[in-house]
Amino acid sequence: MVSCKSIYEPREDSTMLEKYVRQYSKGRVLDVGTGSGIQAIAAAQNKNVISVLATDVQKGVIDYCKKCIKNKKIKFLQSDLFKNIRGKFDTVIFNPPYLPQELKLKDLTIEAGKKGYEVIEKFLDNANIFLKSDGIILMVFSSLTKKEKVEEFIKNNLLDFEELEKQHIFFEDIHVYLLRKNELLKKLESQKITNIEYLTKGHRGLLYTGLHQHKKIAIKTKNPKSTAFGRIENEAKWLKKLNKCKIGSKLIFFDKDYLVYEYIDGDFIIDYVKKSNKHSIKKIIKKIFNELFILDKLKIDKEEMHHPLKHIIISKNKPFLIDFERTHFSQNPKNVTQFCQFLINSQLNQILKDKKMQISRQKIIQLAKVYKNSQNKENFEKILKQT
Ligand SMILES: C[S@@+](CC[C@H](N)C(=O)[O-])C[C@H]1O[C@@H](n2cnc3c(N)ncnc32)[C@H](O)[C@@H]1O
Query: How does pLDDT run across 249-261, given as a tens digit for each residue?
Result: 999 999 989 999 9
Residue percentage of the chain with pLDDT more than 70: 95
Tell me how long the chain is.
387
Residue percentage of the chain with pLDDT more than 90: 82
How remote is the CA of residue 8 from the centroid of ligand 1, in Å? Answer: 8
Protein residues with CB under 6 Å of any ligand 1 atom: 8, 10, 14, 17, 32-36, 38-39, 55-58, 61, 80-81, 95, 97, 108-110, 119
Question: Does residue 242 carry a pLDDT above 90?
Answer: yes
Q: Is 120:95 a contact under the CB 8 Å cutoff?
A: no
Tens-place pLDDT, residues 130-189: 999 999 999 999 988 889 999 999 999 999 999 999 999 988 899 999 999 999 999 999
Average of per-residue pLDDT across 77-93: 97
- CA-wise closest residue to 120 among 179, 193, 36: 179
Tens-place pLDDT, residues 280-309: 999 999 999 999 999 999 999 999 999 999
pLDDT score for 42: 98
Angle between helices 278-297 and 377-386 (to 10 degrees): 160
How remote is the CA of residue 110 from the centroid of ligand 1, in Å? Answer: 8
pLDDT score for 110: 62
Residue nearest to atom 26 of ligand 1 (CA): 109
Where does the chain have alpha helices with state H?
12-24, 38-44, 59-68, 118-127, 147-156, 183-190, 231-243, 269-275, 278-297, 335-343, 346-354, 361-373, 377-386
Edge-first strand order for the sheet with 312-315 is 267-268, 312-315, 318-321
How remote is the CA of residue 240 from the centroid of ligand 1, in Å? Answer: 47
Mutate to test the pocket of ligand 1, among 13, 57, 79, 80 (most ligand atoms within 8 A of CB): 57
- CA-wise closest residue to 321 among 348, 297, 347, 294: 294
How remote is the CA of residue 95 from the centroid of ligand 1, in Å? Answer: 6
How remote is the CA of residue 206 from the centroid of ligand 1, in Å? Answer: 30
Mutate to test the pocket of ligand 1, among 3, 19, 22, 32 (most ligand atoms within 8 A of CB): 32
| Furthest-apart CA atoms within the chain: distance in Å | 82
pLDDT score for 225: 73
Q: Which is the closest atom of ligand 1 to the Cα of 140?
A: 8
pLDDT score for 246: 96
User: How many CA within 13 A on the CB side of residue 204?
Assistant: 16
In the structure, what pLDDT confidence band is assigned to residue 224 with cuts at 50, 70 and 90?
confident
Domains of the chain in start order, with CATH, are 4-181 (3.40.50.150), 188-262 (3.30.200.20), 267-386 (1.10.510)
pLDDT score for 237: 96
pLDDT score for 145: 85
Q: Which is the closest atom of ligand 1 to the Cα of 9?
A: 9
Q: Is 210:197 a contact under the CB 8 Å cutoff?
A: yes
pLDDT score for 155: 95
Q: Which is the closest atom of ligand 1 to the Cα of 93?
A: 6
Convert 240-273 to b/e letters by CB count within 10 Å (16 or more is b). ebbeeeebbbebbebeeebbbbbbbebbebeebb
Q: Is 75:89 a contact under the CB 8 Å cutoff?
A: no
Question: Does residue 1 carry a pLDDT above 50?
Answer: no
Q: Is 53:30 a contact under the CB 8 Å cutoff?
A: yes
pTM for the model:
0.85
In the structure, what pLDDT confidence band is assigned to residue 6 with cuts at 50, 70 and 90?
confident
Question: Does residue 105 carry a pLDDT above 80?
Answer: no
Phi, psi (deg, nearest 5) at residue 322: -130, 165
Q: Tell me the CA end-to-end span of the chain in Å, nearest whole number.
A: 69
- CA-wise closest residue to 242 among 307, 312, 318, 302: 302
Mean pLDDT, the chain, rounded, equals 93
CA–CA dist 310, 206 (Å, integer):
14
In the structure, what pLDDT confidence band is assigned to residue 103 with cuts at 50, 70 and 90?
low
